[in-house]
Every structure is written in C-alpha cells, then in structure tokens.
Structure 1
C-alpha cells in the first residue's frame, strides 16, 4: 500500500549556487555503488547510489511532500522503483528523493511532520527498491520545472579520491552499422560515425569531449538528465536516449563525428567531476 502524506505540488527553480549536505555519513567518492548517468535496468540512472548501509538524513531543510511505502506504481519520470522513500522539496525549488529505505525505520514523527531541518534523521537504508538486496541509499535530485534530474554530486561536498576512469577501447560505427576498432583499423571511408568508448560498470565520466583536428565537435555532459518524450536523456549536440548512449552493455557514446577525406586526428577526452582529464588521440586516413 502506498501512503502519500502531501501532494507533489512544489515549485521548481534554478539550482545555481545551491548546495546539499551528504544524505548519509560522508563516504569516499570512489566507493559509490553506482554513479549518476550509469546504465541501469535498461534506463539511464538518475540516482547516486551509495554502497554502505547507513542512517539517512535530510540533505537540507525543506518540506516533506511525499512518503512512499510501496513501489508498485511508477512516479512519472522518476524512472525507477523507489521502494520506501521520502521526498522533500526545498526553498530553491529542487526536490530530493531518499529511496530504498527500510520501512520500519521511517518513524511516525517523520510521517506526521511537514518540515524537516538539514541533517534531520529520515530512516535507515534498506533493500526495498531496485538494489537487488543491496541495503544502500538511492539519492535523487529533481528539477521538474526544467524536466530534469540533477547529478547530486555537483551539489554535494567532495570527499576522498575519485574512482579511476578508464578510456577502454575506442570503436567507430559507420552508417551501415559496421564497427571499426581503432586499435587495428586507421584507414576509413569518409562519412558520419558514432564514436564509442568501453563502458565501465560503476563510474561515469562527468564529461566526454570528442574533437577532430583539435576542434571540439561533441561535448556530452552528465550534470543533468533532461526529459524528452517522457524519457530522461543525456545532453550533447542532441538529447541522447539510453539506446544511443548505451547501445549495449559494453559501449558508451563519446560523440558523433563527420570524417572528411584526408588525414585527420580524432581525440577523445574523458573528464571526472574534479576536472581531471584523460585523453587519447588517433591519426586516421580518411578516403
């Protein structure tokens, strides 16, 4: 059974200049269970998923707009089964979602409250959502005025090391759907290509920048996921759906390029949230 304490009628505004505290005890950045923007259950993950069980607290003061005690129904573009959850709206207009909570840990006091203070106890992480028996918090930030999910990490304090990003194998897919592995194929026909890097299981780059002859042709960012046609999409030159960003379990889109006849240099750069970058370049012969 689902209990809605208050209706989801809060106003949403710009989140520029705003910040949240940690929704649970501070943890190292290299120990998250899954990053925002990761492939998850056939969708683009709109959550930051913590790895260790913990008490969960309000990331900032705000109004409790909903307490969900069941996850049998979808909540629009929230994109996942939330399990037992608390949803809070804030003065800046954003909403935070604290999902995958243990039902018995959500106190009557919280259920009867309209407002909470920053750091106030909400419950304990459980395994009621999509965590596959992982007792960890699923934390979301939404801006429904702009129909977007916000990467929680751009609003939270940094702590510890980042999980290393690995470029992996770079492949290009041509208009006929044929893949070209740049490790052993550098002579290609002119045309439009989808550029892919190897997908990592947990970490997601904050940005992926693709350049041809030193000029940036694509900049894919994971700061927000924008809603398009009822689905959350990644921002680049276009709004990319999950099928475009993750065509399968092994690949992640780095960009779309037009390669013209002649010699050219294709460069891919992956950047983490601390602005630390890793770059690889290939000299190609285009005929």
Structure 2
C-alpha cells in the first residue's frame, strides 16, 4: 500500500472534482434535457455526485492528520487502518468478487474477439426503422421513408446486444447475427462504438477499485463515442451543435470508420488499465 499524505490526497481529490465539474458544466444541465448527452447519465445510471466522487483506487491509503479526515471513512468498502483510510478489500471482494470477476472476464473476452469496423452505426437507424415513435424527439435527417431506405439498402452488422435489443421488430431479422444476453461475451468486440462507451459503465461499476482519473478518462471517451454515435445516426443534431456523418454515402462511411478506429485505439489502454486494477486486487486477496 502506498500512503498518500493529507496534502497529496486533498489535492488529488480537488483536481478530480474540478475536472468532473468541468464535464458536468458541459454535458449535464440541471432542469433541462439534452437528447445526446443525458444518455450518459440516464442509460448509464451515473449521477453527477458519482462522477464527482474521487477514489484513490486500490493500492492507496489516505493518511490522517489533525484536520478534516477523508470522507472515505464514511463510505462503504473503506475502513481505518494503522496507516489511515483504505479500501477494505476483504469485505469488498466478499460482497462483489463474483461480479468483478465477471466484468474482468467480459472485458478480456471483448478484447480477444475479432474486431470489425464495418457496422457504420446502423444500429441507431435500426432503432427507428418502420416506426412512428423514434426514441428521441429529434427530426430525422432523411425523413422516415429515407431512413427506412438506408436500412433496407445495407446489411446490418451490429455486435452489441444492448443496442440490438432496442431494434424495432421489423429491423431485428435484418441483423447479420441474432444477438442475445447469453451470447454477449462471445459477440461483444472492441471495435464497436458502444463497447468503447461501455468502459465508462464498467469503471463506475467497479467503484473504489478504480482511481478517479481512470473513471473520468472513461467518461471522456464515452462522450466522444456518443458524439459519433449521434452524428452518424438518422437524427439531425445540427441544432445541438453536432455535425453529420452521412453514413449513407461513401464519404460518410469512410469518416465513420476512421473515427471508429481512433476510438477503439484510444479505448485499448483504458480497457487494459481496468483489467490491471482488477488483477492487482485479486492477487492481493490471495494473501488473506
């Protein structure tokens, strides 16, 4: 365990909160609704208070002095030791070990599965195919009929079950693969924009194992993935300050693949860092 002196952990906590507040000021607006960015706080059940909560991550103890103690002393999964306040790994692993192991195996499997970059974001189009009730209250860039035509003129190759499950009934048979929750570890792959976005979900679910810096790094890449997701969608988001990736054209397809590859490359070290934190914690449990 590395001991962080009070001045160190207080500074780290302040930096985290300032960084989180900067993101919240841009992507979360109290009392309003943003059809692009509110997804990151609604579909992913992360509250602003969760984003602001700083964890040092496994392997650190917060030293105590005569001043205000670290708030972690009152948080679940922390305890006091002779050196200060640290993660109670034994208690945490007894309560969460099975789910943490699942997340570790899922992340590793998605990285091992064959990567593909030819879906062109058509999952969003399949969610509005032949329906009069789109999921978002935004105009369709090509109109309903034009949107249906794009779907019908492509082979849909979605590999992400949590996108596929929102396909309209007429769209599901058009997907190259029938996806299911049971097969998700075998189908999920790290070229997928939503798999990149999900790193934010896994970082949140892993809680105190994950340092605040890594959690916010995962949030940042989720924002970029969400922007591409909606710019390439059938919705017209230009009034929200977003651009258009016209995936119905060769130029749009090329742009989508270029940005999708860049996101996947940026996500790779984040995924590795999440797995590494789990592995380090698991190795420490063997000492008990």
- Superposition TM-score, scaled by structure 1 size: 0.25
Structure possessing the higher relative contact order (Cα contacts under 8 Å, 6 or more residues apart): 2
- Greater fraction of residues in strand: 1
Q: Could you tell me the TM-score, scaled by structure 2's length?
A: 0.25
